[in-house]
Structure 1
Amino acid sequence: MQQIAPECGKHLPDCMVSQPVPDESSLRNLESQLKENSVLHKMWIEQPEYFPTCIAVKPYPKEEVQKYFKKLRLFKG
């Protein structure tokens, strides 16, 4: 059974991280990897354009999901 990272339970907004991807294809590839490995997530689709804009992942312990995001850099907007 997968669990929410204990440090996120009380401070969920503090556990949010933004990491940009270069294009839609990269975002869809990331989603495929998450699906293949049963990582719970949600892809946000912008309407009415039907354009994927982001993926939200359930708060997992870092060591469980870090490998999927290792190649992405932290967004500093």
Structure 2
Amino acid sequence: MAGQSLVQYVVLRGDLARSWPLGAVVAQGCHAALAAAHAFREHPDTAAYLERGGHMRTVVLEAPDEAALAALGATLRELRIDHRAWTELPEGVPTRLALRPYPREQVQRHLRGLRLLH
């Protein structure tokens, strides 16, 4: 079943994750995941992922800073990998991005340079 290998990757800025309150960082990740799932809700992989309920797999990674997040976004656009980036308003601060759910083997190699958020 294709749904077994589906994963949603969320990438947050590590510099903000270490300077913002934990609740704000968690909210950023939630916003990113929901924005990507909503934007690509018609895609069969997104539907299969959401139907899994308590068996969804989400991986939260960190980009070291704003420049790294922007570079990742540019790479994903170039590769036509569906994702949503988010800029916190009214501050205008790019904070995170999330891919729609994908089979892990399709996108994991493009995210290898990022580490798990800690």
1:68 aligns with 2:110: yes
Q: Which ranges in structure 1 are unaligned for 5 or more consecutive residues?
A: none
CA displacement, residues 18-64 of structure 1 (integer Å, 9 cap, x when unaligned):
11111100000000000001101000110011111111101010010
Q: Find 1:53's aligned residue among 95, 101, 107.
A: 95
Distance 1:41 1:28 in 2: 13
Post-superposition offset of 1:11: 3.3
TM-score (norm 1): 0.82
TM-score (norm 2): 0.56
1:4 aligns with 2:45: yes
Distance 2:62 2:55 in 1: 18
What stretches of structure 1 move > 6 A for 4+ residues in a row?
none
Q: Percent identity at matched positions? A: 33
Q: Which ranges in structure 2 are unaligned for 5 or more consecutive residues?
A: 1-42
- Aligned pair count reads 75
